[in-house]
Amino acid sequence: MSALSNAAAQVIAQAGETGAVDPAAAKATAGAGSAGFAYGLAAIGPGIGIGYLVGQAVQAMARQPESAGQVQTTMFLGIAFTEALALIGFVVFILLKFV
């Protein structure tokens, strides 16, 4: 967070010299700083979720190897649903950073 506020302070200091805030520069600075946070936060939940999900699937397959095929299909489904949140976080990262 300090890096973000430092960069923002730099933009404001520059504005003090020239007498005007460049909105594009301020937006780019804030966007670049928050993009990393957005993706980092978005990755926490799905990371825990997928880990738990696959762990449980492995346990199920180890207990009942004959149902491994069905468990695997359901596992991929669950991963797809869980992963969507992280991927939306990634899209938000792209939007904050480049748009």
Partner 1 sequence: MPGLALLTAPIALFAAEGEGGGGLQFPPVENLVIWPDWFLADTPFAFNKIAFMSLVAFVVPVILFLIAGRKAKAVPTGLQNVMESSLDFIEVQVIKPAIGPDGMRYLPMLMSMFFFIWIGNLFEIIPTAHMPANARMANPLMLAIVAWVMFIGVGVKHHGLGYFKEALFPPGVPKALYLLVTPIELLSTFIIRPFSLAVRLFANMLAGHILLVTFSVLCITLWGFQILNIVNLLSFPMLVAFTGFEFMVAFLQAFIFSLLTAVYIGGALHPAH
Size of the site for partner 1 (CB under 8 A): 16
Taking contact as CB under 8 A, which single stretch among the options 12-20, 24-32, 45-53, 87-95 is the one that binds partner 1?
87-95
Q: How far is the CB of 8 from partner 1 (least distance, A)?
A: 19
CA 91 to each of CA 20, 39, 87, 99: distance values in angstroms, whole numbers, following the listed order = 32, 9, 6, 11
Residue 50 touches partner 1, criterion: CB under 8 A: no
How many CB atoms sit inside 10 A of residue 37's CB?
Answer: 13
Taking contact as CB under 8 A, which single stretch among the options 8-16, 18-26, 49-57, 70-78 is the one that binds partner 1?
70-78
